[in-house]
């Protein structure tokens, strides 16, 4: 599920980067405010643990295997914000040191695996706990939390790929959803096993996480995600008539050279290179693209810097 570089279009990965960075920066602030130094050290060891536990692989189907991801497990035993940060660290280290998931795609990968996964896991688990606090309910709740987190995160990745025009929505959600519905069974069973072990051996650790106030937070994040989804959906609706920002620019620039261009197809940038005016059009489109990206990146960075300054003043 680690999306590599080059698969997402700028209209997807830039908003994903900004959104994920914002949510995680907020999470980092919450964690700093909420936890003592000792608990943060503990959280850091838990990040290493989740990374190590990803070595746990299990058979899925047809001789293939999946591996434990741990997002829901982290959300259950650590609480929502610590789990998001822990998963974000795991995903980031995979991108930085193992080229497992891209750098431009890191925002998208953080969104699916470090935000959506723990959020869904925590929400399902907390709901199950509210229904009943018995052992069976907790185990069933953890299974459902991990399965749901796995499947919903995969669907989120599929939607991001679709928003990038990478595949038809049906095909990509079916492929990702079905596959992760299978992997989710292993993920759920291991998570339930983990929670069952803790209930038997150290129930106090689970109780610690339960005491975290996240009902309000879960609601707040759900609203933020809803807004992001709405914006993404409307952007994609606008984009559907102009398949891609770059392509759109390309087409606009191309039409300025009417009579000289041979750009007829809906994907004009795939024309064999070599024609002078076309190269020129490409250069201009590239400049437009770089300027737009630069402005967006600058806006994002300024916003973050302002937030950091604010944080410093507190």
Partner 1 sequence: MSPRPHTHGDPGLPGVHREEHRHAGQPAHRHPHHHRAETGTVPHEHAHPTSFESLTYTVSPIHALDARTKIVGATVLILGVVLTPPLRLAEALLLAALLAALTATARLPVGRLVTRSAAVLPFAGTIALLAPLGADGGSWNIGGLMSAWAGGGLVITWGILSKAWFSAFCMLLVAASTRRADLLGALRRLKVPEVFVMLLSFITRYVGVLGEQLRSLRTAMVSRAPTLRGRALLRSLGSIAGNLFVRSYERGERIHAAMVSRGYTGTLPITTRGRLRSADILFMAMAALSAFAIALY
Told to check if 177 binds partner 1 by CB under 8 A, we report: no
Contact region with partner 1 (CB under 8 A), list: 110-118, 223-231, 252-260, 263-271 = 263-271
Q: Among residues 61 and 227, whose Cβ is nearest to partner 1? A: 61
Q: Among residues 6 and 226, whose Cβ is nearest to partner 1? A: 6
State the alpha helices, DSSP H only, in 61-116: 71-78, 80-98, 106-109
Question: Which one of residues 75, 124, 263, 281 is an interface residue with partner 1 (CB under 8 A)?
Answer: 263
Question: Which one of residues 18, 69, 95, 124 is an interface residue with partner 1 (CB under 8 A)?
Answer: 95
Told to check if 34 binds partner 1 by CB under 8 A, we report: no
The 3-state secondary structure of 2-19, one letter per residue: CCCCCCCCHHHHHHHHHH
* Shortest Cβ 218–partner 1 spacing (Å): 21
Give the separation between CA 33 and CA 110, rounded to whole angstroms: 22
Give the separation between CA 88 and CA 190, rounded to whole angstroms: 21
Contact region with partner 1 (CB under 8 A), list: 119-127, 212-220, 229-237, 289-297 = 289-297
| Positions 113 through 142 that interact with partner 1 (CB under 8 A) | none
Told to check if 49 binds partner 1 by CB under 8 A, we report: yes
Give the separation between CA 124 and CA 144, rounded to whole angstroms: 7
- If you ran DSSP here, which 8-state letter would residue 272 be given? P
Residue 201 backbone dihedrals phi, psi, to 5 degrees = -105, -50
Told to check if 276 binds partner 1 by CB under 8 A, we report: no
Told to check if 153 binds partner 1 by CB under 8 A, we report: no
Q: Among residues 171 and 222, whose Cβ is nearest to partner 1? A: 171
Told to check if 2 binds partner 1 by CB under 8 A, we report: yes
Residue tagged 């991001």 (tokens):
160
- If you ran DSSP here, which 8-state letter would residue 259 be given? T
Question: Which one of residues 189, 218, 235, 296 is an interface residue with partner 1 (CB under 8 A)?
Answer: 189
Q: Among residues 196 and 235, whose Cβ is nearest to partner 1? A: 196
- If you ran DSSP here, which 8-state letter would residue 268 be given? G
Q: Give the total of residues touching partner 1 (CB under 8 A).
A: 103
Contact region with partner 1 (CB under 8 A), list: 49-57, 214-222, 223-231, 232-240 = 49-57
Question: Which one of residues 1, 80, 128, 232 is an interface residue with partner 1 (CB under 8 A)?
Answer: 1
Contact region with partner 1 (CB under 8 A), list: 119-127, 129-137, 210-218, 270-278 = 270-278
Nearest-5° angle of CA 287, CA 292, CA 295? 125
Contact region with partner 1 (CB under 8 A), list: 27-35, 113-121, 123-131, 210-218 = 27-35
Told to check if 62 binds partner 1 by CB under 8 A, we report: no
Return contacts of 95-104, CB within 8 angstroms, 24+ apart. 95/2, 100/2, 101/2, 101/3, 101/4, 102/3, 102/4, 102/5, 102/6, 102/7, 103/5, 104/5, 104/6, 104/8, 104/13, 104/17
Return contacts of 62-70, CB within 8 angstroms, 24+ apart. 66/182, 66/183, 66/186, 66/187, 68/186, 68/187, 68/190, 69/113, 69/117, 69/150, 69/187
Told to check if 53 binds partner 1 by CB under 8 A, we report: yes
Question: Which one of residues 43, 113, 239, 281 is an interface residue with partner 1 (CB under 8 A)?
Answer: 43
| Positions 230 through 259 that interact with partner 1 (CB under 8 A) | 246
Contact between residue 40 and residue 134 where contact means Cβ atoms under 8 Å apart: no
Question: Which one of residues 132, 279, 298, 306 is an interface residue with partner 1 (CB under 8 A)?
Answer: 279
């Amino acid at each position: 599920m680690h999306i590599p570089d080059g698969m997402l279009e700028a209209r997807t990965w830039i908003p994903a980067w900004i959104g994920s960075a914002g949510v995680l920066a907020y999470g980092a602030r919450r964690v700093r405010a909420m936890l003592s130094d000792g608990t943060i050290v503990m959280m850091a060891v838990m990040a290493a643990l989740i990374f190590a536990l990803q070595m746990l692989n299990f058979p899925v189907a047809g001789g293939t295997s999946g591996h434990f991801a741990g997002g829901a497990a982290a959300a259950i035993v650590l609480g929502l914000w610590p789990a998001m940060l822990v998963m974000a660290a795991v995903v980031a280290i995979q991108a930085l040191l193992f080229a497992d998931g891209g750098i431009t795609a890191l925002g998208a990968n953080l969104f699916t695996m470090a935000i959506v996964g723990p959020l869904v896991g925590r929400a399902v688990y907390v709901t199950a706990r509210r229904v009943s606090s018995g052992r069976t309910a907790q185990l069933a709740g953890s299974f459902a939390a991990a399965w749901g987190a796995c499947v919903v995160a995969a669907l989120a990745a599929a939607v991001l790929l679709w928003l990038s025009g990478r595949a038809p929505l049906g095909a990509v959600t079916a492929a990702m959803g079905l596959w992760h519905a299978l992997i989710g069974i292993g993920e759920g069973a291991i998570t339930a096993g983990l929670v069952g072990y803790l209930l038997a051996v150290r129930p106090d650790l689970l109780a610690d996480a339960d005491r975290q106030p996240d009902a309000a937070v879960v609601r707040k994040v759900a609203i933020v995600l809803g807004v992001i989804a709405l914006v993404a959906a409307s952007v994609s609706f606008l984009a559907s008539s102009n398949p891609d920002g770059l392509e759109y620019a390309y087409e606009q620039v191309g039409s300025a050279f009417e009579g000289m261009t041979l750009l007829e197809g809906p994907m004009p940038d795939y024309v064999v290179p070599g024609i002078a005016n076309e190269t020129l059009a490409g250069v201009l489109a590239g400049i437009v693209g770089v300027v737009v990206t630069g402005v967006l990146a600058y806006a994002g960075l300024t916003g973050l810097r302002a937030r950091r300054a604010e944080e410093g003043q507190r």
